[in-house]
Structure 1
Amino acid sequence: MRRISSRLSLVLFAALSCATALFPAHAANPRSVEVDHIAAVVNNEVITARELRERVEQAIHQLNRQGTPQPPADVLERQLLERLVLERAQLQLARETSLQVDEATLERAIARIAESNRLTIAQLQAALEKDGVSWSRFRDNIRTEILLTRLREREVDNRIVVTDAEVDNFLANNADALSGEEFELAHILIRVPEAATQQQMAGLVARAETAKQRLNSGDDFARVAASYSDAPDAMNGGALGWRSRDRLPPLFAEAVRELSPGSVSPVLRSSAGLHIVKLLDRRGGAAAGPQQLEQTRARHILIRTSEILNDSEAESRLLGLRERVVNGASFAELAKAHSADLSSAKGGDLGWLSPGDTVPEFERTMNALKPGEVSAPVRSPFGWHLIQVEARRLQDVSDERKRNAARNALRERKADEAFEDWLRQLRDRTYVEYRTGKE
């Protein structure tokens, strides 16, 4: 049970601050009833012109809040329709494979959003409704975000494997990757179909070069990203935030070597498509960090959810096991009998864990425990866990720390690249028919 790229915590933390951007105040106002049209057919479902209009209104509101110049209306509509298509394809796959978000999970997510914004649930609901965001629509949006995150975790993140040989090669060929230097980047992605014809490829390259020419002539990067980028962050100006060199895709890491803050790369090519990268700023660069780290010796019991075991039932099962441990039962014996993790053969023993060895949800809960304590059930991308901390120690882990950092960096790189490739393949095999809206 090792670390993966989980984005759910970021989605939840940002949900309230983005709420008015996602759902502008006038979205809740009553409108005259009008005949709707079909904007696109995605497999056996339709995207209506009304859905597209709402998404355009949301995007314009978000761009205005960010101070980003709006792209031409037809360009913005085309970009957002493609995003709706890709989102619908993912949600269809989630439904077809029985991936769900139950009410208990949704309620916990909303509670975390309220807590992170120092609000009660009632205050959160009142704040949203004051901004014209209906409570039911907000809940639906959070449910969708959780579902898409779980779909990525299942289809991509959980399948990423990093070998010892890859770690050795990374450390041997990237001496400065763990230097502590960080880069603030923005990017534009133009997705290329897996079996693109020569004519398609020429058109996509021309599109990328047009975007680059606009940047060279001084056009705003955020506006160009909103007009051209196929990446999910296009409406946020393509912002990737601050990333250390080891967390950058190799293509980007090589490109930023030649860039100064404010400059833009040439058009780059990867398996996912065509990229343009802008270096906004850089900082740090001195490798330091402690030579000793606190390690935790822990055991856990893992219960995985399935079509026949939902989140509430998994949590309830672990609560029963926790009560047995509190009343004197052996945690190790219960792990052998009930845990779905490979560590069950060793009584759930995970050995000595360093910071970053486990997913954030697991690590936060483990770090809050004293030796001998047993946690309440906690959910991670792998399922539901019961955690027992046995001991802690300070350990000189300089070499081990470098290897763990390299392994995590490689895992994140692979996950990001694999996700883009997975999205491209999903889009390629999805039947899509665009309509004029007049049918």
Structure 2
Amino acid sequence: MMLRFLREKGKSWVLKALLGFVALTFVSFGGFALTDRQSDPGGGRVAAWVGDTPISAREFEQRYYVRAEALRRQLGAAFNEELARRLGLRRQTLDSLILEKLQLREARRLGIEVTNAQVALQIQSLAPFQRDGKFDAQRYRSILESSGITPRQFEEEQRRVVLLNQLQDYVNLGVMVSDQETQGAYEWRNVEIRLAAVRLKPETFTADVPEPEADLKAHYEKNKDQFKTGPQRRVSWWHLPFSAASKGIELSDADLRTHYTQTRAKYERNESVSVNQILLKMPPNPAKELIDASRKQLEGLRERVVKGEEFTELAKAHSQGPAANRGGDLGVFGRGQMLPELERVAFRLKKGEVSKPVKSSFGMHLLWIRDRVLPGQKPFAEVRKQVEADLRILRSRERAKNELRKIRYAVEDKKAEPLLEGLKKGETGFFERGRLSQTVPASNVVSELAFGLSGEEKISREREGGGGVSFVRLEAKRAPFVPEFSDVRKQVERSFLRLKGAEVAKRKASLWLQELKDEKRNLSSIAEELKLKILTPEAFKRADVPEQLGPSQELASHAFGLAKGGFGMAQAGSDVILFEVLEGPKTDMKKFETEKADFRQGLLRLKKAMVFNQYLEKLRQAANIRFEEGFNL
């Protein structure tokens, strides 16, 4: 009920915290309101202590709500409080707060301080408050005001961010990666191997498995939890399709114009450029002579365009890019869709203009702006049909909700339901979450509504989904239970055969592996006997085991320890892989010198993260962390 209340109350402090502390965190400077004042952790009841530093219950619940809503946006209807419980989301939230408090305490102990100037620089570097790559104070104030967050709240949050970053920098002082470490890690990550393999599935060997009734019953008794149901619900459901609610909706010209005015932002024309290019490719870290030669060549081509030659024809003749045969046509781009170095140039040019040569990581470019669309409002006449379709959908959804709400009120009051054309309703049998028959309209929504009812709730609110609006009434609950053997016999049989088939596969694979090593058999004869295909995927690296052979960390571990001609076996789930090394292991070091710098930086970041995590673990072990009596996760 609490989460539903919070979602419906858009002005709540929790939603403001979500908008403020997750989407943006900023401080004001020159229009900002920088202070040195530290924030109150929230006051009120304390949930836990990290030494003498409290974590308030309000602070915990606010952070938990942020995490829960982030998951809800990501997973949609699949997210619910039961899933959050299984994921241990509340424990994860508390752990993250504890780590944060430990770091803040350690930073204070070490005397690390953050100045207002450092906070201001942090703010000005954040993209949401920038326009054309520069900080925009008006944009900053507008976003803060619309979010309902004060500059001081942003300032304090960003001050913590900078402080924690400085602590990490301090801990990682002196962390380095040697040339030997870099080369060794590069070889390990990039070593490749090529295999021939036979994949042995349990199903291949089920004919060798006897299945007397006694064995099946013994398997059932031993693995009862495997056949245990989850919690079950039985509900009555009501569903009103939007299509039914849309009948009879009439929209006047005034309605359309009013909707257009109220939703003008939706019908804005975004700024865009249509770009053609001539690209002269260059390798990474090109020599100055090559850069100068490429620039000179493009400057010559630019002069020819200025004098009247067709850019597209020159692109076909000289461009080395993939769009050369199309006259260098790259398509249409909005802001943020091009390489930054190209975008800065393209959006400064007018329609028909040609840029000077521009260098990027791909080479040297010459850009022609074939067309340019300036930002602005699309006129009503141009978008009238879209406005009508949008408003019709909106009115249909509103009518469906309102009409179905009348039905719900009647059900709650145990009165006769009003007649409603197009309404569908029915009753389910017992079902588990996510396993409701697809014959029920909006089955996923109905399932989530059923399992979303808590406490004494019997009737849900309306929810959109599945092309309409639905609500449910809980008729009965059933706790998890183990069905009788006779009710799940087929399921038991499948489980038993798969288990025993996997055992036979592993036993036979061990015998065949020895025969392969003794040169008494080869993979072809085994595959022929089993009527299986020999798998020969392309060469792969440790982290890229082909789908045909995976998922199997065991295979990567074993195979990369063998020389060419070696044999091995590995488990891949319940399957067994028998394989022979055809090529490798070997590492192509040709690209090492050109990739060395970037690879070293990535390795350094990884090493620093490991060092810092070890440091945090020591802080945790040494800290006096305790929970306040009465606080429950």
Q: TM-score by structure 1 length?
A: 0.41
User: Which of the two has higher C-alpha Rg?
Assistant: 2
TM-score normalized with structure 2 length? 0.29
